Amino acid sequence: MDDELNRSVEDVVIEVLVHLPVKSLMRFRCVSKSWWALIRSPDFATMHHHRRGSKEIMSETCSLMLKRFLVSGKTGDDELYLGTHALSFHDPYSPELSSDDDHVFVPLGDVYSPEFLEIYGPCNGLVVLVRADSFIWCNPTLREFKVLPRNTIPVPKGYVCRLEEFGFGFDADTNSYKFVSIVKVMEQPTHYHTFSWEEDSYVRTDLYDSSTNSWRIIDTELPDFGCMPECNLFFNGAQHWMVSDHHVDKILCFDVGREVLKWILHPPSLCDYRHDGKLGMALVSLKQSLAILRYSYESDSEDCIDIWLLKEYGVSESWTKQFVIGPYPTGHDILARCSWQDQWILFESDGQLVAYAIHANQIKTFQFHGHATSFQAVIFRESCVSLNQVLLI
């Protein structure tokens, strides 16, 4: 009887805790040793992430990470400034961004300019900060970060690697996180020459696996391709990149669980759009489908934003032009980042954050500014997944 009562009380405690924000959970770790053990357990973190990710909660608030500039740290080392803000959707027609931000300072070593660092993700509330060949895993909610081991996979003598694409995701079958790096292996350029694709050049896929804390090569065959580094998305258990293969735009997909690559073709009517130099594209998740956005970044123009949905995942013939929104004013430095609650598309425009309504002729400009070359915004769900539990570093 006592055992049943204790289990019942524990179930009630868990049911209450999984609905609380992460900041509250961090305070409650001090209540007792049993609460501390519960809150830091991987099973609880997974349960909490799923409950806090319910549509009812997600429709009201989310978190936004802004990368704007670099500052000198208290220790004298260079550090990255990241601001995290609460993005509220209590009024679906007028989202609000909190002005009181929490600062995340991450040591980076020698950093010359913030535009050389990119944020990849999110996945389960985690992001990866990429600068050259350095990769920093970060939980912005817990203010935790881990520097991944350097990739020491060798290249043939006289050759060098040029990093092209990155991505990461979660493998539910092995309960591990994986970070993928696609590199081009090319002959070392001479003093008078730059990198060029030769007959003996090749593309290599390297993978970091959190369960083994090591890098390895994935057996794949890829042609030479041009990359669009801003166009990447983790969706449906796979990392997606928009690339150009012999002037044909495609989507390259890496299945994180099966560790295989595949291609998804663009809608036929989009194939020639981007090559006039005035049209941009982006990948987002919308209506539980993979989506392509097509928009203009010609200066001082007004243009519509076309949204295509892949109705049946993996089937290129199932692309459907679902929405046309606008016309909206656009500019040279506009960049689509993500969608939210199937209601808004978030853009970075000339160093500002702008939300475009999908179902209404409406624009929301947030009062946060940065330099166009170094400003970046990422929406994520708060998470109590501790890097100390998932990364064996």
Residues 332-345 have pLDDT tens digits of 566 777 777 778 88
Q: Quick check: 244 and 228 in contact, CB under 8 A?
A: yes
Pairing relationship of beta strands 159-171 and 144-147 according to DSSP bridges? unpaired
Residue scoring higher pLDDT (22 or 135): 135
Residue scoring higher pLDDT (237 or 111): 237
Residue scoring higher pLDDT (185 or 85): 185
Report in angstroms the alpha-carbon separations of 35 from 13, 27, 43. 9, 11, 13
In whole angstroms, give the CA distance from residue 346 to residue 59.
15
**pLDDT of the residue at 129:** 86
For residue 76, pLDDT over 50 is answered with: no
For residue 109, pLDDT over 70 is answered with: no
pLDDT band at 157 (very low <50, low <70, confident <90, very high): confident
DSSP bridge partners of 9: none
Report in angstroms the alpha-carbon separations of 247 from 95, 204, 389. 39, 21, 44
Mean residue pLDDT of the chain comes to 77
Asked which of 99-103, 181-185, 212-216 is least confident by mean pLDDT, the reply is 99-103
Residue scoring higher pLDDT (11 or 217): 217
Residue scoring higher pLDDT (175 or 350): 175
Q: Which CATH number fits domain 47-390: 1.10.3470, 1.10.10, 2.120.10, 2.60.40?
A: 2.120.10
**pLDDT of the residue at 70:** 47
Q: Is the peptide bond before 122 cis (omega within 30 degrees of 0)?
A: yes
Rg (CA), the chain: 22
Give the number of other Cβ atoms within 10 Å of residue 27's Cβ.
Answer: 9
For residue 227, pLDDT over 80 is answered with: no
Residue scoring higher pLDDT (382 or 180): 180
pTM over 0.85? The answer is: no
In whole angstroms, give the CA distance from residue 306 to residue 38.
46
For residue 256, pLDDT over 90 is answered with: yes
Task: Report the SS3 class of residue 359.
Answer: coil
Residue scoring higher pLDDT (329 or 200): 200
pLDDT band at 218 (very low <50, low <70, confident <90, very high): very high
**pLDDT of the residue at 310:** 95
pLDDT band at 90 (very low <50, low <70, confident <90, very high): low
Helix axes 42-52, 2-17, angle to 10 degrees: 50
Q: What is the pLDDT of residues 301-319, one digit of tens each?
A: 567 788 899 999 999 999 9
**pLDDT of the residue at 368:** 67
Q: Is the peptide bond before 327 cis (omega within 30 degrees of 0)?
A: yes
In whole angstroms, give the CA distance from residue 223 to residue 186.
13
For residue 324, pLDDT over 80 is answered with: yes
Task: Report the SS3 class of residue 55.
Answer: helix
Domains of the chain by residue range = 2-39, 47-390
Q: Quick check: 250 and 243 in contact, CB under 8 A?
A: yes
**pLDDT of the residue at 257:** 94
**H-assigned helices in the chain:** 2-17, 22-28, 33-39, 42-52, 55-58, 387-390
For residue 158, pLDDT over 70 is answered with: yes
**How long is the chain?**
393
**pLDDT of the residue at 56:** 43
Q: For residue 324, what are the contacts with CB-CB under 8 A and spacing of at least 6?
A: 304, 305, 306, 307
b or e along 28-38 (b: 16 or more beta carbons within 10 Å of the residue's beta carbon)? Answer: beeeeeeeeeb
Numbers of helices and strands, H then E, in the chain: 6, 25
For residue 388, pLDDT over 50 is answered with: yes
